[in-house]
Structure 1
Amino acid sequence: MFAATQMSTEPDLDPGQFSKIVDIFEYAFKNYADMPAFSCLSHTISYAELDEHSARFANWLRESSGLKPGDRIAIQLPNLLQFPVAVVAAARAGLVMVNTNPLYTAREMKHQFRDSGVKGVVILENFCDKLESIIKETDIECVVVTQLADMLPQPKRLLMNLAVKYLKRMVPSWSIAGAVNWSDALSSSPARQPAPDSGTDVAIVLYTGGTTGLAKGAMLTHSNLVHNMMQLREVSKPLIRDGSDIIVAPLPLYHTYAFMFHCLAAVYAGNHSVLIPNPRDLDGLLKTLKSLPRINGFVGINTLFLAMSRHKDIGQIDFSQMRFTGAGGMALTISVAEEWQRVTGCQVYEGYGLTECSPVVSVNPHHKVKIGTVGPPVPGTEVKTVDDDGKDLGLNEKGELWVRGPQVMKGYWLNESATADSITEDGWFKTGDFAMIDEEGFIKIVDRKKDLIIVSGFNVYPSEVEEVVNSHPGVAESAAIGVPSEKSGEGIKLFVVRRDNVLTIADVTAHCRENLTAYKVPKEIVFVDDLPKSNVGKILRREIREQELKQH
């Protein structure tokens, strides 16, 4: 087992100074009132404005919503200014947040709302038709509806909202009795009141990706989040300047990684987060980057780094003042990390985390980055690898990664059996990921346990195959899965997205044979136009595998 160093006791890194996440927000309002807090759609709000808007909404939630402290409220929004306002207001009203993917289908919404027992929801009007179809099957009593430009000044607000609704026709018709307009809710008094006792230590319920059946809700306590924010701050502090840095936020705030970084850590540091509503619109993203006075930080994932690096206009962006790029959410490939550094001149600091760990477990330190690893555990965190029987393995041995620390969740919402399966009696969380830990404590994630392919009794890790394949200059990205084989139990099938049509299957096979042991060489290779991905850009091997199994 490798044990990380203990939590720093520097005064500003003491988690004990905050008992709830609302204390973090109040700290920021006191220390950074005149500083810019968040920008979106070319409009910026200061910390003082975030304070006032959230105080108004919090008072409305207390007095007019029908919700009581401890009730769950879903926030189903893309990266808009409304998101941080809703987060701070919910915390001030003593509510438990349930971040919800705005692109969920009605079926997925119903599962999450019913499972978490949400009684209120803040939702973008574009998705209200889905909510209408399932709301009677939930406990939702309070619906606050916002339009895309509701936080912008007039007349831009009116013009943009009309364009979205009537010119672009992005808002399906809907009807929900008693729904309240966002602007009406924010017309309440801005009087500040102490946050009431919610009756629970749970601050937020975040749902896992659900790649193995229905998603489960991870209960993250105030203590979990405060400790993890301090852990993240300690490793990132040498790269971030308090009260001045501009950090680009293309990852969705409902995702645990972006939520921790932009809604907590960056707020505590008085940073300015630039919210990107749709990072898939690369032209729009680069246009936003061009408009910024400077870029000091960028938080993204492998697929976004790759797409941006190869955009025709990337050379027009000034990255000269960018000190860090944070990577998480999915594995960072060596070739993409190197290409991003060539294009931007900025090192990528890859980390590792899980929703159940608030989410940060490890980060590559600024003074020593080992590309291909996710760094050592953050302060106050222990990690170890174990075999199938739960017995500790030595350094540089592949095994399931277990984590213990103050950021490990309380458990899964209303799911004691899943909690017992995931957390040992002495507090170790079983990540389900295979990893190796080296002599310096750096962690290398080998693969997801469930993605393991067994060929004639030999273990094959898809990420290793993909790393080799992706290093070929003619390959854009790839995915390897196991498919049934009468001869070897499982065979490896590889799906490849080409950079151009010159690449052949023979080229890929030859490249694999040069770099992989024979049993790791894919027996079947197919070219595809694209690969299915989650809304945060992860390649969904599960979805590919399910389609293949149906054909078999």
Structure 2
Amino acid sequence: MQAIGPDVASLSDLVHQLARRFDEQPAFGHLGARISFADLDRLSRRFAAWVQHETDLKPGDRIVLQLPNIMQYPVVLFGARRAGLVVVNANPLYSCEEMCQQLRDSGARAIVAFAPVPVELTQCLASTAVEYLVTTELGDLHPPLRRCGLNLLARLKRRGMRPVLLSTRRAAGVRQIALTAVMQKGSKLIWQPSESTGIEASLALLQYTGGTTGPAKGAMLTEAALLANLTQLQALISQYCVPGQERLLQPLPLYHIYSFTLTLLMLSLGAYIELVPDPRRVRGLVRCWDRLDPTVLAGINPLFVNLCRQPEFQRLDFSSLKLTVSGGMSLTRAVAARWHAVTGKDICEGYGLTECSPVVSVNCPDAIRLGTVGKPLVQTDVHIVDDCGHVLPPGESGNIRIRGPQLMSGYWHQRHETETVLQDGWLDTGDIGLIDHDGYLRVIDRRKEVINVSGFKVYPSELEDVIACHPDIVECAVVGLPDSNRGEQIKLYVVPANQQLSIREVREYCRERLTAYKVPRSVEFCQRLPRTAIGKVSRRDLRDRALQGQRVH
């Protein structure tokens, strides 16, 4: 049995073909309930029919999905695309200010949000273009009795054990409707495939970058780019996975492009995907693993650390696990070694950017080179260039440039930013790296985060990789701070595993393994590090706090 191939013309065609091929096999599930490929096809048609017949939304209009990892997400995603809407992914944990900024920038006319919707967000909708607010609760796609129980339990937890009703406050001019009502109405309506101007011009996602080095920008990803990346990844993964027989455990948020595309990839293989709404509950994640016995896991460095520290996880059977995929941030050698010691499996680290839909390169399971992010995908060109744009030979570090069919078409309403990073079909990634003599790509660091100490370049990721190998350190982060004598000085943040660990021991460990100018000038211990939506350590936040004289708790 083959995977859904490159003949798929759209995401709508993808879900239709999957339903025909895999029918009643389970596609998605969470918290004990599942929907089949046929259910996904049917329910997404209902949502699309509601959009076409019950709203004045037109193809090309933006719809925001502000949902955690629940089955409603893929239903609404495919339903929105079937109606020709452009999907804007949003973090459910955004503050009202962050959410309103994204709504205004995208010009979204509709939003699907997790209930209860904060009153502050409802009030601010009046200052946006939003006309339709669709709400959904945790158990809305579960069987009736379980749905009621899950929804009630979720409300009790969110309100400190006091039962509450969903917010009924409405912003002027905004129509609010429950997703369950949308599905009921859509079941009586007929969806008609929307007319398109062609796949090359069909914008599918407005995917906002994390804004770790500046204000968030909306990367415009077409269906052509998404499907190209999907086809590239299928060419790589098909030799390791069997269509219709894989099980993906997905604790990473689907609103992030890394987990979005990996989930789409496994779905195209007919895999069952177990969604984890809250991966911060690590013990619950371990129990989920025990029940599912996954063949594929999507993760990032901190998640691997947290899992390996759980005694219950260490006792699990990992014989079914075929692929452990890492992305979104650098994988440290210490974490890779610990994962292998616990599971007996290696981690396949990859590299990507929102602007690349997102995958650029990945280590193949049978050809992993630790410390690299593998070789570029098929039809993907990667050049290492100097500051003048001249291509550098293998082994020399410089700026990473990328060319391929998975590139974005530009940043939403930001022509200058687009022209800055996209030139002659090449994307300037803002990353520094090198390609070795065997064609493996190594990403050294973000260009903007390189520390200049007395004229010497210091790469934070290099230091973190070395320091994280200390047996009494859970994780660490390095930032550069202004220094009147040296230009910049290095500050190290450490999350200790042993409370007896001292700053002196840490600095001595660094002196033994690092050149003198790379040894951190100051060290601060903390209980946890600030993170972005995907779980990546936010160096920007750490630097801002240090400049303001604030400690990290």
The normalised TM-score by structure 2 is: 0.94
Could you say which residue in structure 1 is the equivalent of 2:146? 156
Structure with bigger RCO (C-alpha 8 Å, 6+ apart): 1
Could you say which residue in structure 1 is the equivalent of 2:31? 41
What letter is aligned with 2:141? M
Inter-partner Cα distance in structure 2 for 1:266 and 1:380: 21
Residues 316-395 of structure 1 correspond to what in structure 2 (within 5 A)? 316-395=315-394
| Deviation of 1:545 (Å) | 0.7
| Deviation of 1:34 (Å) | 1.8
Residues 395-544 of structure 1 correspond to what in structure 2 (within 5 A)? 395-424=394-423, 426-544=424-542
What letter is aligned with 2:276? I
Cα distance per residue 1:320-351 (max 9 Å; x no partner):
11111011011111110111122112221000
What letter is aligned with 1:445? V
Does the 8 Å CA contact 1:238/1:366 hold for their aligned counterparts? no
Inter-partner Cα distance in structure 2 for 1:195 and 1:340: 46
Could you say which residue in structure 2 is the equivalent of 1:218? 219
Could you say which residue in structure 2 is the equivalent of 1:4? none
| Deviation of 1:301 (Å) | 0.5
Does the 8 Å CA contact 1:69/1:94 hold for their aligned counterparts? yes
The answer to whether structure 1 residue 305 and structure 2 residue 304 are counterparts is yes
> 1:127/1:212 Cα in 2 relative to 1: closer, same or farther (>3 Å)?
farther
Could you say which residue in structure 1 is the equivalent of 2:87? 97
| Deviation of 1:13 (Å) | 7.7
Does the 8 Å CA contact 1:325/1:349 hold for their aligned counterparts? yes
Does the 8 Å CA contact 1:55/1:190 hold for their aligned counterparts? no
Does the 8 Å CA contact 1:53/1:190 hold for their aligned counterparts? no
Could you say which residue in structure 1 is the equivalent of 2:176? 179
Does the 8 Å CA contact 2:44/2:79 hold for their aligned counterparts? yes
Inter-partner Cα distance in structure 2 for 1:457 and 1:326: 37
What letter is aligned with 2:178? N
Does the 8 Å CA contact 2:135/2:176 hold for their aligned counterparts? yes
The answer to whether structure 1 residue 275 and structure 2 residue 275 are counterparts is yes
Inter-partner Cα distance in structure 2 for 1:31 and 1:191: 25
Task: Judge which range, 192-201 or 473-482, deviates more.
Answer: 192-201
What letter is aligned with 2:521? K
Cα distance per residue 1:93-150 (max 9 Å; x no partner):
1111111111111111111111111001111013443421310111000111001111
Does the 8 Å CA contact 1:73/1:121 hold for their aligned counterparts? yes
SS of equivalent residue, structure 1 residue 186: helix
Does the 8 Å CA contact 2:49/2:192 hold for their aligned counterparts? no
Does the 8 Å CA contact 1:21/1:225 hold for their aligned counterparts? no
Inter-partner Cα distance in structure 2 for 1:117 and 1:480: 37
Could you say which residue in structure 2 is the equivalent of 1:236? 237
> 1:306/1:192 Cα in 2 relative to 1: closer, same or farther (>3 Å)?
farther
Inter-partner Cα distance in structure 2 for 1:459 and 1:421: 24
Inter-partner Cα distance in structure 2 for 1:22 and 1:63: 18
From 40, 52, 63, the equivalent of 2:42 is 52
Task: Judge which range, 194-203 or 148-157, deviates more.
Answer: 194-203
SS of equivalent residue, structure 1 residue 454: strand
Does the 8 Å CA contact 2:491/2:521 hold for their aligned counterparts? yes
SS of equivalent residue, structure 1 residue 51: helix
Cα distance per residue 1:395-441 (max 9 Å; x no partner):
111111110000010000111110000101x2110110111110111
Task: Judge which range, 316-325 or 168-177, deviates more.
Answer: 168-177
Task: Judge which range, 39-48 or 230-239, deviates more.
Answer: 230-239
| Deviation of 1:61 (Å) | 1.2
Gaps spanning 5+ residues in structure 1: where? Answer: 1-10
What letter is aligned with 1:350? E
| Deviation of 1:461 (Å) | 0.3
What letter is aligned with 1:338? A
Does the 8 Å CA contact 1:453/1:459 hold for their aligned counterparts? yes
Inter-partner Cα distance in structure 1 for 2:106 and 2:157: 36
> 1:213/1:167 Cα in 2 relative to 1: closer, same or farther (>3 Å)?
closer
> 1:192/1:539 Cα in 2 relative to 1: closer, same or farther (>3 Å)?
same
What letter is aligned with 2:137? Q
| Deviation of 1:266 (Å) | 1.6
Cα distance per residue 1:221-255 (max 9 Å; x no partner):
11100100011111112221111111100000000
Inter-partner Cα distance in structure 2 for 1:271 and 1:246: 6
Inter-partner Cα distance in structure 2 for 1:230 and 1:456: 47
Task: Judge which range, 166-175 or 180-189, deviates more.
Answer: 166-175
| Deviation of 1:191 (Å) | 6.2
> 1:311/1:54 Cα in 2 relative to 1: closer, same or farther (>3 Å)?
same
Does the 8 Å CA contact 1:132/1:174 hold for their aligned counterparts? no
SS of equivalent residue, structure 2 residue 474: strand
> 1:13/1:150 Cα in 2 relative to 1: closer, same or farther (>3 Å)?
closer
The answer to whether structure 1 residue 80 and structure 2 residue 66 are counterparts is no
| Deviation of 1:174 (Å) | 5.4
Does the 8 Å CA contact 1:302/1:336 hold for their aligned counterparts? yes
The normalised TM-score by structure 1 is: 0.95
Gaps spanning 5+ residues in structure 2: where? Answer: none
From 99, 108, 119, the equivalent of 1:109 is 99
Task: Judge which range, 301-310 or 166-175, deviates more.
Answer: 166-175
Inter-partner Cα distance in structure 1 for 2:31 and 2:507: 46
Does the 8 Å CA contact 1:395/1:438 hold for their aligned counterparts? yes
What letter is aligned with 1:185? V
| Deviation of 1:49 (Å) | 1.0
| Deviation of 1:12 (Å) | 6.2
> 1:404/1:357 Cα in 2 relative to 1: closer, same or farther (>3 Å)?
same
What letter is aligned with 2:548? K
From 132, 139, 146, the equivalent of 1:142 is 132
Does the 8 Å CA contact 1:207/1:218 hold for their aligned counterparts? yes
Task: Judge which range, 158-167 or 220-229, deviates more.
Answer: 158-167
> 1:40/1:349 Cα in 2 relative to 1: closer, same or farther (>3 Å)?
same
Inter-partner Cα distance in structure 1 for 2:420 and 2:157: 51
| Deviation of 1:316 (Å) | 3.6
Task: Judge which range, 193-202 or 24-33, deviates more.
Answer: 193-202
Inter-partner Cα distance in structure 2 for 1:408 and 1:160: 40
> 1:275/1:246 Cα in 2 relative to 1: closer, same or farther (>3 Å)?
same
| Deviation of 1:213 (Å) | 2.8
Inter-partner Cα distance in structure 2 for 1:512 and 1:378: 36
Inter-partner Cα distance in structure 1 for 2:110 and 2:158: 29
Does the 8 Å CA contact 1:102/1:127 hold for their aligned counterparts? no
Inter-partner Cα distance in structure 2 for 1:14 and 1:400: 34
Residues 189-268 of structure 1 correspond to what in structure 2 (within 5 A)? 189=187, 193-199=191-197, 200-262=201-263, 264-268=264-268
| Deviation of 1:86 (Å) | 0.4
Task: Judge which range, 539-548 or 161-170, deviates more.
Answer: 161-170
